Amino acid sequence: MAKSKNDRLMAIREIIATRDIASQEEILSDLVSRGFSLTQATLSRDIKELQIAKVPDGMGNYRYRIAPNTVARQIMPSDAEVTGTSIIRNCAVSIEFSGQIAVLKTRPGYASVVADIVDKSQNEGIMGTLAGDDTVLLVLRANANQRNVVESLSRWLPDITNRVL
Amino acid sequence: MAKSKNDRLMAIREIIATRDIASQEEILSDLVSRGFSLTQATLSRDIKELQIAKVPDGMGNYRYRIAPNTVARQIMPSDAEVTGTSIIRNCAVSIEFSGQIAVLKTRPGYASVVADIVDKSQNEGIMGTLAGDDTVLLVLRANANQRNVVESLSRWLPDITNRVL
DNA sequence: ATTGACAATGCAAAAATATGCATTCGTTTT
DNA sequence: AAAACGAATGCATATTTTTGCATTGTCAAT
């Protein structure tokens, strides 16, 4: 079977996470070189669906980025897929604790996606999260149990247990 | 003295924070109705400078939002404006402490605005802030007094005293 | 296999946004 | 005060992004 829409959406995410992209045309040509076949119109719709935005980077340029607090459930692998092979398992690079703080490193650009997953995990021990580009900060409650937090996260980020620093 | 550029930038922020805006033209007409005089070209430049982006909202529409992790201290409201502006007081949803950390939840998109206000409060106990989309992280000094921090914040965020978790 | 329903897509055009260039405005320097 | 400089802006245009509409592809039900 040919490349599915989902493959394409994933590829788009990876592209904007990996490179500095300033226009849809750039994404488009990257996609094409990866063997996808589509027009800019479709890409625009994909980007809307993925809640990706063209954001001024403060250095005088623009860059496409995954929107903050994006709930990407639709594109997110299902529970079944999560346990299998998926981008998600590769999103979280490491997690480290220090007092009530945990720093979760992700692949570039994935922080907000991962943060969203963490939020969704509804762990009692987690007060809140803050996502940068490749770093998610977790603030834990004073009485939070570290082991418990990791365990809870592992449902969504299977490998996380092996990535605790 | 006429309206300065800074006034205009502030107004833009307030507009996008207050209303659902989907295009620059909407912002423009709002600005004009507030007595500013400018063209779309200038607005586009302003928006770039403010790092405001047009973000898909996931409901099939677009919305202008302050970019995540943006710290735009240069464009702070004056004290007078802050105390007079009602949007600000409704921004903060809750605040919770955990050791040297406080997590201040805000309405979506308001985090950086609120973070600015917190910075402005110049509280001795606050080492610094980090703003996401709807969450502000306050890092407190080792000797900080929690009650004192809340009290200090209440000057700009009047309701905050009732929102301590 | 055919029909029907709906998602996905391309095409072309509209709409929205960004920017090169010339001009104006406000400051600083001589 | 005049000159010199850089920021700010408008104008016109280029570029980019979005969307209405028609078409095609997919899949389920009959």
**Domains recognised in chain A with CATH numbers:** 5-66 (1.10.10.10), 87-163 (3.30.1360.40)
Contact A71 B58 (CB under 8 A): yes
Check: CB of residue B129 under 8 Å from CB of residue B122: no
Residue range A109-128: mean pLDDT, rounded: 78
Q: Which range among A68-77, B125-134, B149-158 shows the weakest confidence by mean pLDDT?
A: A68-77
Q: How confident is the model at residue A148 (pLDDT cuts 50, 70, 90)?
A: confident
| Element at A102 (helix H, strand E) | strand A101-106
Give the largest CA-CA distance in chain B.
50
Give tens-digit pLDDT for B87-114. 555 677 788 888 878 888 887 777 877 8
A44 touches strand D (CB under 7 A): yes
Q: Is the pLDDT of residue A80 over 70?
A: no
**Cβ-based neighbour number of residue B41 at 10 Å:** 9
Q: How confident is the model at residue B83 (pLDDT cuts 50, 70, 90)?
A: very low
Q: How confident is the model at residue B3 (pLDDT cuts 50, 70, 90)?
A: low
Compare A100 and B49 and report the one with higher pLDDT. Answer: B49
pLDDT at A85: 37
Compare A43 and B125 and report the one with higher pLDDT. Answer: A43
Q: Is the pLDDT of residue A68 over 60?
A: no
Q: How confident is the model at residue A159 (pLDDT cuts 50, 70, 90)?
A: low
Give tens-digit pLDDT for B17-69. 778 899 999 999 999 999 999 999 999 999 999 889 999 887 889 999 876 54
Q: Which range among A65-79, A126-140, B119-133 shows the weakest confidence by mean pLDDT?
A: A65-79
Interface residue of B21, B54, B94, B101 to substitute, partner A, most A CBs within 10 Å: B101
Q: Is the pLDDT of residue A86 over 50?
A: no
A1 touches strand C (CB under 7 A): no
**Alpha carbon of residue A75 to chain centroid:** 11
Tell me which DSSP letter residue A88 carries: H
pLDDT at B89: 56
pLDDT at A73: 31
Report the residue count for chain B. 165
Interface residue of A74, A127, A136 to substitute, partner B, most B CBs within 10 Å: A127
pLDDT at A125: 83
B42 touches strand D (CB under 7 A): yes
Q: Is the pLDDT of residue B144 over 60?
A: yes
- Considering chain A, what is the average pLDDT of its residues? 76
B53 touches strand D (CB under 7 A): no
Contacts of A104 in chain B (CB under 8 A): none
Compare A27 and A151 and report the one with higher pLDDT. Answer: A27
Structure tokens at A31: 């996609």
Q: How would you class A2 by CB atoms within 10 Å of its CB: exposed for 0-12, middle for 13-18, buried for 19 or more?
A: exposed
Check: CB of residue B91 under 8 Å from CB of residue B113: yes
Q: Which nucleotide shows the minimum CA-to-C1' distance to residue B39?
A: D10
